[in-house]
């Protein structure tokens, strides 16, 4: 199962970073390349524990939907979202926010697996791990820019 770990320093308080990360509008703005949009559940504003959102996106020329749910929530330290339905066999993303000198260390830990057994594992290794890491990195650049503008 692929695991992605990213650390992003942001010169802003953890509370600001936490709220930007759980904001559906910010998520949509940061994933405009994939044309992600919230189509049901929480479709704007901040998500809280137990909230669900269904995303529609286009990746590799295919349109798909994925429903995620906030399964743990401890503001401003972290939260987790898990796929409830969608294209993966498994998807769990834990977001942590550690106060450090001069700002916040935002940490993403993501685990996922594709369907189709050995073929899915090959696709994960050859294509999806790098693709998902790049999407998260792009999203983190947006979060950092917005957070640092608020100070």
**This prediction's pTM:** 0.93
Residues 86 and 115: beta-carbon distance below 8 Å: no
Span 133-138, mean pLDDT? 94
Residue 83: pLDDT band with limits 50, 70, 90: very high
Only one residue has tokens 């899915």, namely 120
- Is the domain defined by 3-149 classed in CATH 3.30.530.20? yes
Question: For residue 80, what are its two tokens?
Answer: 């987790």
- Give the rounded percent of residues in the chain with a pLDDT score beyond 70: 100
Q: What is the pLDDT of residue 60?
A: 82
The 10 Å Cβ neighbour count of residue 30 is 23
**Higher per-residue pLDDT: 125 or 11:** 11
> Each residue of 25-60: pLDDT tens digit?
999 999 877 789 999 999 999 999 999 999 999 888
What is the domain partition of the chain in residue ranges?
3-149
Q: What residues have CB less than 8 Å from 25, skipping those under 6 apart?
A: 44, 45
């Amino acid at each position: 199962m692929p695991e992605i770990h990213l650390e992003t320093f942001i010169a802003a308080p953890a509370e600001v970073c936490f709220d930007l990360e759980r904001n559906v509008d910010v998520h949509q703005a940061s994933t405009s390349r994939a044309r992600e949009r919230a189509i049901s559940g929480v479709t704007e504003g901040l998500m809280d524990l137990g909230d669900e959102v269904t995303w529609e996106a286009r990746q590799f020329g295919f349109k798909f939907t994925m429903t995620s749910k906030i399964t743990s929530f401890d503001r401003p330290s972290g939260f987790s979202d898990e796929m409830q339905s969608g294209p993966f066999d498994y998807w769990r993303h834990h977001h942590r926010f550690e106060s450090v000198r001069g700002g916040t260390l935002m940490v993403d830990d993501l685990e996922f697996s594709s369907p189709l057994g050995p073929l899915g594992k090959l696709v994960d290794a050859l294509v999806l791990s790098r693709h998902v890491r790049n999407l998260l990195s792009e999203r983190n650049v947006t979060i950092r820019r917005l957070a640092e503008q608020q100070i």
